[in-house]
Amino acid sequence: MNDQRIDGYARALFEIARAEGTIDTVEDELFRFARAFEGNDALRNALTDEGIPAARRQTIIEDLLGGKANNTSAQLISMLVGSGHVSELPAIIDRVVARASGAKNLEVAEVRTAVALTSDQEARLAAALTKATGKSINLKVVVDPSVIGGVVATIGDTVIDGTVRSRIEQLKSRL
Protein backbone atom coordinates (compact mmCIF):
# COMPACT_ATOMS: atom_id res chain seq x y z
CA MET A 1 0.00 0.00 0.00
CA ASN A 2 1.36 3.43 -0.81
CA ASP A 3 1.83 6.29 1.65
CA GLN A 4 -1.24 8.16 0.43
CA ARG A 5 -3.51 5.19 1.11
CA ILE A 6 -1.91 4.62 4.52
CA ASP A 7 -2.44 8.31 5.34
CA GLY A 8 -6.03 8.08 4.08
CA TYR A 9 -6.83 5.14 6.31
CA ALA A 10 -5.07 6.79 9.26
CA ARG A 11 -7.01 10.02 8.75
CA ALA A 12 -10.30 8.10 8.53
CA LEU A 13 -9.62 6.05 11.66
CA PHE A 14 -8.56 9.16 13.55
CA GLU A 15 -11.68 11.09 12.51
CA ILE A 16 -13.98 8.19 13.46
CA ALA A 17 -12.42 7.90 16.91
CA ARG A 18 -12.49 11.68 17.39
CA ALA A 19 -16.15 11.85 16.34
CA GLU A 20 -16.94 9.08 18.84
CA GLY A 21 -15.12 11.09 21.55
CA THR A 22 -12.83 8.16 22.29
CA ILE A 23 -9.61 9.23 20.59
CA ASP A 24 -7.35 8.91 23.66
CA THR A 25 -8.53 5.40 24.49
CA VAL A 26 -8.71 4.22 20.88
CA GLU A 27 -5.26 5.51 19.94
CA ASP A 28 -3.75 3.76 22.93
CA GLU A 29 -5.57 0.49 22.24
CA LEU A 30 -4.69 0.60 18.54
CA PHE A 31 -1.03 1.20 19.41
CA ARG A 32 -0.99 -1.79 21.76
CA PHE A 33 -2.72 -3.99 19.20
CA ALA A 34 -0.24 -2.99 16.48
CA ARG A 35 2.69 -3.95 18.73
CA ALA A 36 1.01 -7.28 19.57
CA PHE A 37 0.39 -7.87 15.87
CA GLU A 38 4.05 -7.21 15.08
CA GLY A 39 5.31 -9.40 17.90
CA ASN A 40 3.03 -12.41 17.53
CA ASP A 41 3.66 -14.58 14.47
CA ALA A 42 0.55 -16.73 15.00
CA LEU A 43 -1.73 -13.67 15.18
CA ARG A 44 -0.08 -11.99 12.21
CA ASN A 45 -0.28 -15.18 10.11
CA ALA A 46 -3.93 -15.79 11.02
CA LEU A 47 -4.98 -12.25 10.18
CA THR A 48 -3.01 -11.97 6.93
CA ASP A 49 -3.81 -15.45 5.56
CA GLU A 50 -5.93 -14.86 2.45
CA GLY A 51 -6.98 -18.54 2.61
CA ILE A 52 -9.04 -17.71 5.69
CA PRO A 53 -12.27 -15.90 4.79
CA ALA A 54 -12.35 -12.24 5.88
CA ALA A 55 -15.40 -12.90 8.06
CA ARG A 56 -13.49 -15.57 9.99
CA ARG A 57 -10.51 -13.23 10.45
CA GLN A 58 -12.87 -10.54 11.72
CA THR A 59 -14.30 -13.07 14.18
CA ILE A 60 -10.76 -13.58 15.49
CA ILE A 61 -10.59 -9.82 16.20
CA GLU A 62 -13.98 -9.90 17.93
CA ASP A 63 -12.89 -12.88 20.05
CA LEU A 64 -9.61 -11.19 21.00
CA LEU A 65 -10.92 -7.72 21.73
CA GLY A 66 -14.58 -8.23 22.59
CA GLY A 67 -15.22 -6.79 26.04
CA LYS A 68 -11.52 -6.02 26.54
CA ALA A 69 -11.18 -3.02 24.25
CA ASN A 70 -13.31 -0.06 23.34
CA ASN A 71 -15.94 -1.04 20.78
CA THR A 72 -14.60 1.59 18.36
CA SER A 73 -11.08 0.11 18.54
CA ALA A 74 -12.36 -3.38 17.79
CA GLN A 75 -14.50 -2.15 14.91
CA LEU A 76 -11.65 -0.14 13.36
CA ILE A 77 -9.27 -3.10 13.49
CA SER A 78 -11.99 -5.38 12.13
CA MET A 79 -12.56 -2.93 9.27
CA LEU A 80 -8.85 -3.09 8.34
CA VAL A 81 -8.96 -6.89 8.43
CA GLY A 82 -12.13 -6.99 6.32
CA SER A 83 -10.76 -4.58 3.74
CA GLY A 84 -7.67 -6.73 3.21
CA HIS A 85 -5.21 -4.12 4.52
CA VAL A 86 -4.26 -5.81 7.77
CA SER A 87 -0.64 -6.25 6.66
CA GLU A 88 -0.35 -2.46 6.75
CA LEU A 89 -1.99 -2.26 10.17
CA PRO A 90 1.14 -1.19 12.11
CA ALA A 91 1.95 1.59 9.63
CA ILE A 92 -1.64 2.85 9.59
CA ILE A 93 -1.94 2.76 13.38
CA ASP A 94 1.42 4.49 13.88
CA ARG A 95 0.09 7.34 11.74
CA VAL A 96 -3.15 7.43 13.75
CA VAL A 97 -1.08 7.72 16.94
CA ALA A 98 1.07 10.46 15.40
CA ARG A 99 -2.04 12.34 14.23
CA ALA A 100 -3.69 12.03 17.68
CA SER A 101 -0.49 13.21 19.39
CA GLY A 102 -0.11 16.08 16.95
CA ALA A 103 -3.68 17.18 17.67
CA LYS A 104 -2.61 17.56 21.33
CA ASN A 105 0.74 19.17 20.44
CA LEU A 106 2.62 16.12 21.70
CA GLU A 107 5.50 14.14 20.25
CA VAL A 108 5.22 10.34 20.31
CA ALA A 109 7.94 8.67 22.37
CA GLU A 110 8.02 4.90 21.89
CA VAL A 111 9.88 3.40 24.83
CA ARG A 112 10.96 -0.24 24.94
CA THR A 113 11.61 -1.82 28.33
CA ALA A 114 12.22 -5.37 29.52
CA VAL A 115 9.43 -5.15 32.11
CA ALA A 116 6.21 -3.19 32.49
CA LEU A 117 6.59 0.21 34.12
CA THR A 118 4.49 1.52 36.98
CA SER A 119 2.49 4.67 36.36
CA ASP A 120 4.96 6.58 38.56
CA GLN A 121 7.90 5.31 36.49
CA GLU A 122 6.08 6.25 33.29
CA ALA A 123 5.42 9.76 34.59
CA ARG A 124 9.08 10.23 35.61
CA LEU A 125 10.29 8.86 32.29
CA ALA A 126 7.95 11.17 30.36
CA ALA A 127 9.21 14.13 32.40
CA ALA A 128 12.84 13.16 31.77
CA LEU A 129 12.22 12.78 28.02
CA THR A 130 10.41 16.12 27.93
CA LYS A 131 13.37 17.74 29.66
CA ALA A 132 15.90 16.01 27.36
CA THR A 133 14.09 16.85 24.12
CA GLY A 134 12.29 20.07 24.98
CA LYS A 135 9.09 18.54 23.57
CA SER A 136 5.88 17.52 25.30
CA ILE A 137 5.69 13.73 25.15
CA ASN A 138 2.97 11.15 24.51
CA LEU A 139 4.66 8.12 26.07
CA LYS A 140 4.00 4.72 24.49
CA VAL A 141 5.63 1.86 26.41
CA VAL A 142 6.34 -1.46 24.74
CA VAL A 143 7.49 -4.39 26.89
CA ASP A 144 10.31 -6.07 24.94
CA PRO A 145 12.20 -8.83 26.77
CA SER A 146 15.10 -8.54 24.30
CA VAL A 147 15.98 -5.21 25.92
CA ILE A 148 17.22 -7.15 29.00
CA GLY A 149 17.56 -4.03 31.18
CA GLY A 150 17.16 -0.28 30.81
CA VAL A 151 15.14 1.52 28.16
CA VAL A 152 15.33 2.52 24.51
CA ALA A 153 13.33 5.63 23.62
CA THR A 154 12.55 6.64 20.06
CA ILE A 155 11.21 10.14 19.52
CA GLY A 156 10.90 10.93 15.84
CA ASP A 157 14.38 10.33 14.40
CA THR A 158 16.07 10.53 17.80
CA VAL A 159 16.99 7.31 19.61
CA ILE A 160 18.06 7.41 23.25
CA ASP A 161 19.57 4.06 24.17
CA GLY A 162 19.92 3.54 27.90
CA THR A 163 19.99 -0.24 27.81
CA VAL A 164 22.38 -2.45 29.71
CA ARG A 165 23.53 -3.89 26.39
CA SER A 166 24.56 -0.47 25.03
CA ARG A 167 26.39 0.37 28.25
CA ILE A 168 28.33 -2.89 28.06
CA GLU A 169 29.22 -2.14 24.43
CA GLN A 170 30.42 1.32 25.48
CA LEU A 171 32.60 -0.22 28.18
CA LYS A 172 34.03 -2.72 25.68
CA SER A 173 34.96 0.04 23.27
CA ARG A 174 36.67 2.02 26.05
CA LEU A 175 38.73 -0.99 27.06
Looking at residue 96, its pLDDT comes to 93
- Asked whether the whole model's pTM tops 0.75, one would answer yes
- Per-residue model confidence as pLDDT tens digits over 104-154: 999 999 999 989 999 999 999 999 999 988 889 999 999 988 888 889 999
- Per-residue model confidence as pLDDT tens digits over 16-71: 999 999 999 999 999 999 999 999 999 999 999 989 999 999 999 999 998 899 98
Taking the alpha carbons of 8, 13, 19, 25 in that order, is the dihedral positive or negative?
negative
In the chain, where the domains are located: 3-101, 106-174
Rounded to whole angstroms, the Cα distance separating 142 from 125 reads 13
Contact 31, 70 (CB under 8 A): no
Q: Choose between 163 and 129: higher pLDDT.
A: 129
Looking at residue 1, its pLDDT comes to 63
Looking at residue 175, its pLDDT comes to 76
Rounded to whole angstroms, the Cα distance separating 83 from 76 reads 11
Question: In the CATH scheme, what is the code of domain 3-101?
Answer: 1.10.520.20
Rounded to whole angstroms, the Cα distance separating 57 from 89 reads 14
| Burial (CB count within 10 angstroms: exposed 0-12, middle 13-18, buried 19+), residue 10 | buried
Rounded to whole angstroms, the Cα distance separating 48 from 145 reads 25
